[in-house]
C-alpha cells in the first residue's frame, strides 16, 4: 500500500503554500494589465485575474514543491496517477499522433463501422444511451457541429426517468434506428434499463434481429456480449480512460455517425496540440497552469465558492454540463492522495449557461450580488453564420459584461449618470446607491478563432489539464469518484423496498425517508 501513497504533505502544511497565499492576498486585478497566452491556436486572456511578480514567483515555487513536473510526466506517460484505483489516466494517448496499437486498431474499427453505415445509408436515426462521461461529450460535440452537417436524426437518453427513453424513441422507425449504448462499466442502472426498453421497442416493432441495430462501447465486452450485443458491434474502452475523459474514444461513435469521423479526428488533433503546449510551455506561459493557479487563488485564497462558465456561443450550451462533470467529479473532494483532510477550500461549484441568455438570467447576481463568482467567458471570433450584426452584438455583450465586472461603477459615476438623465438631485442621491457595481470581479476570456473540431478539442484539453494541475496543487486525485458510489448503493436498497421485494427497514432510514418509501411503495405495489 505504501508505494501507492504520494510522498506529499497536506497543502496547508506546505511553506510554499503559505507564501503563495500571502502573495495572492496582496496581488491585485488591474485594468492596465494585459496578459494573453496563445496555446494550440486559442487565446487565453487572464488579464482580469489577480497578478503580481510575487504571485508568479511563489506560484512557481509551489508547483515545484508539489512535484508538478514529475506528476505531469507520470500522467502523460501513462503511469499510475489514479492511486486509489491503481490506474493510469492516459486519455492523452487516445489523441496522440502515434497511439499504441490497440488504440489505432479500435479507431480503425470504429471508422470502418461508420464508413459502412454511411455507404449503405444505414440507420437514419441514432439513439445514444449513456450517462455522465458516456453522454455529455457526445451531446456537446453533436450540438456543436451537428445541426448543419447531419442527415441523421440523433436522440439521447440518459436519465432513468421513463420519459427520457420514451421521448428519445418516439416517432422513430425501429427498423431504421441504431441504438448506441455507451457504458464504460456496463453496470450503470440508468443505461441498462434504457437499453432494455430500446431493445423491447425493436422487438415489439417486429425487428427480426434487434441486436443487429445495437452498438456498444464499453471496457467490459464480456458483459456486453452476455447482454446480447454482437462482438463486431462492441467497441473497446480501456480502464486507463476515465469516463469523463473518454470522448476521445469510441464513446464518440454517435458523433462520428452524426457529423463525421473527421470531427473526432479534428478534435483529437486540437487536443494533441494543447497536450504539447501543456507538456512544454514554461509555467508563466502555460495556459492550463495559469488557468489552474488563477482558479486556486479565487477558490482557496479569496474564497469564491463557484466558477461560472459563460460560453458566448449558442452551439456550446452543452459545454457547461460537460465541464461541470469534468471539474466537480474530479475536484469535489476534501481529502488528499493520502486520505488526509486538505484544510483549504477545493473544487468550486461549476455552473452557467450560454451568453447572452445568461445576462437575462443571473448576471445581476454576478454584478451586484454580495459575493459573485469568477467567470470564464468563451467566445469565437468568427461567426460561422451570415448575420454579422448578430455576431457583433454577441462579441460586444461578451466584452461589455466582462468589462463591467472588472471596472464596476462608483457611487459618484452612478450619481452623475442619474443627474445627466434628468433625475432630480434628491432622488438621484438615493437611486445612485442602487446602481453601484463593486467591480474587481475576476474573469478569464478564452477566444477561439472559430468553432472547429480542432479548437473545441483544444478547449476541452485545456480544461482537462487545468483540472489536473489543480489536483496536483490541492493534492487531490482527480481521476476517481468514490462519492458517486454511496448514493447508488442506497438507491439499490430503496428500489428493493419500493418494489415490495423487501420490507421497509425503519432502523436503517431517517424518519422522512422511511415515510416516503412507505408511501411510494404503497403506490407502486397498489398497497
Is 60 among the residues that bind ligand F6P (CB under 6 A)? no
Is 134 among the residues that bind ligand F6P (CB under 6 A)? yes
Q: Which is nearer to ligand F6P, 165 or 358 (CB)?
A: 165
Q: Please state, in angstroms and rounded to a whole number, the distance separating the CA atoms of residues 17 and 64.
A: 11
Segment (H or E) for 72: helix 68-76
Is 484 among the residues that bind ligand F6P (CB under 6 A)? yes
Q: Please state, in angstroms and rounded to a whole number, the distance separating the CA atoms of residues 416 and 131.
A: 53
Is 191 among the residues that bind ligand F6P (CB under 6 A)? yes
Q: Which is nearer to ligand F6P, 33 or 239 (CB)?
A: 239
Which letter, b or e, does each residue of 185-195 get, where b requires 16 or more Cβ atoms within 10 Å of its Cβ? ebebebbbbbb
Instruction: State the minimum distance, in angstroms, from the CB of residue 218 to ligand F6P.
Output: 8
Instruction: State the minimum distance, in angstroms, from the CB of residue 134 to ligand F6P.
Output: 4
Instruction: State the minimum distance, in angstroms, from the CB of residue 183 to ligand F6P.
Output: 3
Instruction: State the minimum distance, in angstroms, from the CB of residue 249 to ligand F6P.
Output: 11
Is 300 among the residues that bind ligand F6P (CB under 6 A)? no
Is 470 among the residues that bind ligand F6P (CB under 6 A)? no
Instruction: State the minimum distance, in angstroms, from the CB of residue 131 to ligand F6P.
Output: 5
Instruction: State the minimum distance, in angstroms, from the CB of residue 138 to ligand F6P.
Output: 12
106 catalytic, yes or no?
Answer: no
Q: Which of 25, 488, 515, 519 is catalytic?
A: 488
Q: Which is nearer to ligand F6P, 11 or 165 (CB)?
A: 165
Question: In 228-318, which ranges are continuous DSSP H helix?
Answer: 253-259, 261-280, 287-296
Is 250 among the residues that bind ligand F6P (CB under 6 A)? no
Q: Which of 125, 183, 268, 324 binds ligand F6P (CB under 6 A)?
A: 183
488 catalytic, yes or no?
Answer: yes
Do the beta carbons of residue 397 and residue 358 sit within 8 Å? no
Residue 486's region, left for phi above 0, alpha for psi from -120 to 50, else beta, is alpha
Residue 206's region, left for phi above 0, alpha for psi from -120 to 50, else beta, is left
Helix, coil or strand: residue 366 = helix
Do the beta carbons of residue 248 and residue 95 sit within 8 Å? yes
> Which segment (179-187, 203-211, 363-371, 508-516) binds ligand F6P by CB under 6 A?
179-187
329 catalytic, yes or no?
Answer: yes
Number of neighbours of residue 226 by Cβ within 10 angstroms:
10
Q: Which of 360, 389, 420, 507 is catalytic?
A: 360
Q: Which of 59, 243, 295, 442 binds ligand F6P (CB under 6 A)?
A: 243
Is 185 among the residues that bind ligand F6P (CB under 6 A)? yes
Angle, nearest 10°, between helix axes 68-76 and 261-280?
150
Strand-strand pairing, 80-82 and 87-88: antiparallel
Number of neighbours of residue 405 by Cβ within 10 angstroms:
25
Binding site for ligand F6P (CB under 6 A): 131-134, 183-185, 188, 191, 243-244, 329, 481, 484
**Residues recognised as catalytic:** 329, 360, 488
Amino acid at each position: 500500500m505504501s508505494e501507492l501513497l504520494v510522498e506529499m504533505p497536506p497543502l496547508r502544511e506546505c511553506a510554499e503554500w503559505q507564501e503563495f497565499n500571502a502573495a495572492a492576498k496582496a496581488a491585485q486585478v488591474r485594468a492596465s494589465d494585459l496578459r494573453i497566452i496563445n496555446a494550440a491556436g486559442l487565446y487565453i486572456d487572464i488579464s482580469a485575474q489577480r497578478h503580481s511578480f510575487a504571485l508568479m514567483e511563489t506560484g512557481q515555487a509551489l508547483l515545484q514543491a508539489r512535484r508538478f513536473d514529475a506528476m505531469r510526466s507520470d500522467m502523460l506517460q501513462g503511469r499510475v496517477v489514479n492511486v486509489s484505483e491503481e490506474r493510469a489516466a492516459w486519455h492523452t494517448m487516445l489523441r496522440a499522433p502515434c497511439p499504441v496499437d490497440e488504440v489505432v486498431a479500435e479507431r480503425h474499427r470504429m471508422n470502418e463501422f461508420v464508413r459502412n453505415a454511411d455507404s449503405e445509408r444505414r440507420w437514419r436515426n441514432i439513439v445514444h444511451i449513456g450517462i455522465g462521461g458516456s453522454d455529455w461529450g457526445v451531446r456537446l460535440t453533436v450540438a456543436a457541429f451537428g445541426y448543419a452537417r447531419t442527415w441523421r436524426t440523433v436522440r439521447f437518453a440518459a436519465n432513468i426517468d421513463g420519459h427520457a427513453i420514451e421521448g428519445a424513441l418516439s416517432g422513430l422507425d425501429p427498423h431504421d434506428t441504431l441504438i448506441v449504448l455507451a457504458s464504460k462499466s456496463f453496470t450503470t442502472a440508468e443505461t441498462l434499463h434504457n437499453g432494455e426498453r430500446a431493445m423491447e421497442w425493436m422487438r415489439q416493432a417486429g425487428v427480426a434481429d434487434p441486436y443487429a441495430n445495437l452498438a456498444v462501447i464499453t471496457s467490459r465486452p464480456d458483459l456486453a456480449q452476455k447482454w446480447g450485443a454482437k462482438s463486431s458491434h462492441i467497441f473497446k474502452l480501456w480502464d486507463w480512460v476515465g469516463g469523463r475523459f473518454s470522448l476521445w474514444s469510441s464513446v464518440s461513435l454517435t458523433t462520428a455517425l452524426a457529423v463525421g469521423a473527421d470531427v473526432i479526428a479534428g478534435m483529437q488533433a486540437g487536443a494533441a496540440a494543447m497536450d504539447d503546449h501543456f507538456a512544454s510551455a514554461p509555467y508563466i506561459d502555460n495556459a492550463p497552469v495559469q488557468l489552474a493557479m488563477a482558479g486556486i487563488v479565487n477558490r482557496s485564497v479569496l474564497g469564491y465558492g463557484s466558477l461560472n462558465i459563460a460560453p458566448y456561443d449558442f452551439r456550446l450550451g452543452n459545454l457547461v454540463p460537460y465541464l461541470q462533470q469534468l471539474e466537480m467529479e474530479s475536484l469535489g473532494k476534501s481529502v488528499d492522495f493520502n486520505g488526509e483532510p486538505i484544510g483549504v477550500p477545493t473544487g468550486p461549484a461549476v455552473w452557467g449557461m450560454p451568453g447572452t441568455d445568461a445576462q437575462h438570467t443571473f448576471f445581476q447576481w454576478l454584478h451586484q450580488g454580495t459575493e459573485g463568482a469568477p467567470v470564464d467567458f468563451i467566445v469565437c471570433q468568427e461567426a460561422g453564420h451570415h448575420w454579422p450584426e448578430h455576431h457583433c452584438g454577441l462579441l460586444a455583450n461578451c466584452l461589455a459584461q466582462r468589462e463591467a465586472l472588472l471596472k464596476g461603477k462608483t457611487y459618484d459615476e452612478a450619481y452623475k449618470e442619474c443627474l445627466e438623465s434628468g433625475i432630480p438631485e434628491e432622488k438621484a442621491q438615493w437611486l445612485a446607491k442602487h446602481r453601484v457595481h463593486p467591480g474587481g470581479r475576476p474573469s478569464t476570456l478564452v477566444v477561439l478563432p472559430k468553432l472547429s473540431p480542432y479548437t473545441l478539442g483544444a478547449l476541452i484539453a485545456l480544461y482537462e489539464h487545468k483540472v489536473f494541475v489543480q489536483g496536483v496543487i490541492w493534492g487531490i486525485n482527480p481521476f476517481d469518484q468514490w462519492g458517486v458510489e454511496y448514493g447508488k448503493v442506497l438507491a439499490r436498497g430503496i428500489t428493493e423496498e419500493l418494489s415490495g421485494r423487501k420490507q421497509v427497514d425503519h432502523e436503517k432510514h431517517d424518519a422522512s425517508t422511511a415515510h416516503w418509501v412507505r408511501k411510494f411503495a404503497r403506490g407502486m405495489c397498489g398497497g
